[in-house]
A and B are shown apart, each in its own frame.
Chain A
């Protein structure tokens, strides 16, 4: 009788945990589902900077040059439209130029991994915000000044 009681207690605790998880999970949409679709790049912003020498360079600046400066070594450079397909492909396009790379989401759904299909180049972005119509990505930049760059997107064709 004692054994049955203790096994029942064990299973009860397990089922409580699983139930809470299922309830929470059923009310949510996975980041993979949320990110799928077409996004338009709205803004590049440089949020934090370190000192170079004695002077602080940028502070919360938004410019087209900034995108050129920070993004010149990135896969996403020169892309205005991002199309995430549900088979793990990301189509980056600007005008007639188009490039296809692979995407994956990691961690608890807070890291976006982008990889060139024909090379080993991999980039990671923090997904700071992901809603129905807005996505904000952050990445650490080591170009000239170290800091955190912020990319804001609006969903197209909602």
Chain B
């Protein structure tokens, strides 16, 4: 899911990455709305709110909403910064690091919320800032490694593209194109996973509260573990193949050397 880059990614890679991260994003977004009364990934809405708060002259709100937008931006900046500055031999590490940071942010939100949260406004804003940063990290990473095919924290662009693609599918010539069918499939999966994550969060929040952030962390851990497992399984298969080749070679040499021994 993470180790492949840009055009070397398959539809299956993007589907797995898109569905898991979109589900986590849906959970985080609805969680933040239910607990803190603010979205953690609807940045378009935050721009609109920022504009309206500037007009009203509410400096505090301007500062807070600016911080949210900036942290989403900075999360995305950090993700891509890590990806482009990581050496090729450490691709998985470079692609995993933003997810590790995201897990850390969400884990802090969960731990703090569960044990220390007193519901003060400062705490609320700080936790929201962490969540916005986490969502920026996630969106930046998925967009960066998938050549902008996978964006999972907000669905404005995805819904626009999906609308266009579905309209294209009404014509036979476009329906025949695999690329268009694949993109429609990917965006549909992302949108439905995001929705499913939101619905799931809505239900589980009522019973487990802040612990639901651990579930989101768990999903993201799965993303990393999947790649680590894949790398080890590929290495294991390669070493088995090498052993097999070596033993075949040895057998061939032995049989050839037996043939060459002159008979007395």
Residues of A whose CB lies within 8 Å of any CB of B are: 3, 6, 10, 13-14, 17, 20-21, 24-25, 27-32, 104-111, 113, 124
Contact present for B61 and A109 (CB under 8 Å): yes
With A and B bound together, what is the CA distance between A109 and B67 in angstroms? 14
Is B37 a contact of A107 with CB atoms below 8 Å?
yes
- B63 near A6 with CB under 8 A, answer no
Task: Please name 23 pairs of A and B residues whose Cβ atoms are closer than 8 Å in the assembled complex, sorted by A.
Answer: A3-B85, A10-B77, A10-B78, A13-B77, A17-B71, A20-B66, A21-B67, A21-B70, A24-B59, A28-B63, A30-B121, A31-B121, A104-B119, A105-B124, A106-B36, A106-B119, A106-B121, A107-B37, A108-B49, A108-B53, A108-B125, A109-B61, A110-B61
Cβ-defined contact, B124 with A13, below 8 A: no
A27 and B121 in contact, given A106-B37, A107-B37, A107-B38 (Cβ under 8 angstroms)? no
Distance of B200 from chain A, by nearest CB (Å): 23
Are A24 and B63 also in contact (CB < 8 A) when A104-B119, A107-B37, A109-B121 are? yes
> Which A residues touch B70, using CB under 8 A?
17, 20-21
Q: Which residue of the partner chain B has the closest CB to A113?
A: B119
A140 to chain B, nearest CB (A): 14
A10 touches B62 (CB 8 A): no
B124 to chain A, nearest CB (A): 6
Interfacial residues, chain B to chain A (CB-CB below 8 A): 36-38, 49, 53, 58-67, 70-71, 73-74, 77-78, 81, 85, 119-122, 124-125
Least CB distance from B65 to A in Å reads 6
Minimum CB distance partner of A107 in chain B: B37
A104 and B120: CB pair below 8 A?
A: yes
Contact of B65 among A17, A31, A108 (CB under 8 A): A108
- Report B186 CB to chain A, min CB distance, Å: 31
Please name the residue on chain A nearest to B64 by beta carbon: A108
- Residues in A with CB closer than 8 Å to B74 are 13-14, 17
Alpha-carbon distance between A3 and B60 when the two chains are bound, in angstroms: 37
Q: Which of B64, B65, B66, B70 has the most CB of A within 10 A?
A: B64
Assuming the contacts A17-B70, A31-B60, asked whether A108 and B38 have C-beta atoms less than 8 A apart, the reply is yes
Task: Tell me which of B37, B66, B77 contacts A111 (CB under 8 A).
Answer: B37
Distance in angstroms from B133 CB to nearest chain A CB is: 11
- Decide yes or no: A21 and B38 within 8 Å by CB, A28-B60, A113-B119 being known contacts: no
* Contact A29 to B121, CB < 8 A, known contacts A21-B70, A108-B38, A108-B65: no
A105 to B73, CA, bound (A): 26
Task: Give the docked Cα–Cα distance between A30 and B124 (Å).
Answer: 13
Q: How long is the Cα–Cα vector from A121 to B203 in the complex, in angstroms?
A: 20
Q: Which residues of B contact A106 (CB under 8 A)?
A: 36-38, 119, 121, 124
Q: Is the CB of B60 within 8 A of A109?
A: yes
Of A13, A14, A24, the most chain B CB neighbours within 10 A belong to A24
Q: In chain A, what residue has the closest Cβ to B125? A: A108
Task: Report how far A111 CA is from B61 CA in the complex, Å.
Answer: 12
Residue contact B120 to A32, C-beta cutoff 8 Å: yes
**B244 vs chain A, min Cβ distance (A):** 43
Besides A20-B70, A24-B66, A106-B124, 10 new A-B residue pairs in contact (Cβ under 8 A), listed by A number: A6-B85, A25-B63, A28-B62, A28-B63, A32-B121, A106-B37, A106-B119, A108-B49, A108-B61, A108-B125
Most chain B CB within 10 A, of A13, A29, A105, A107, is at A107
Across the interface, do B121 and A105 meet the contact criterion of CB distance under 8 Å? yes
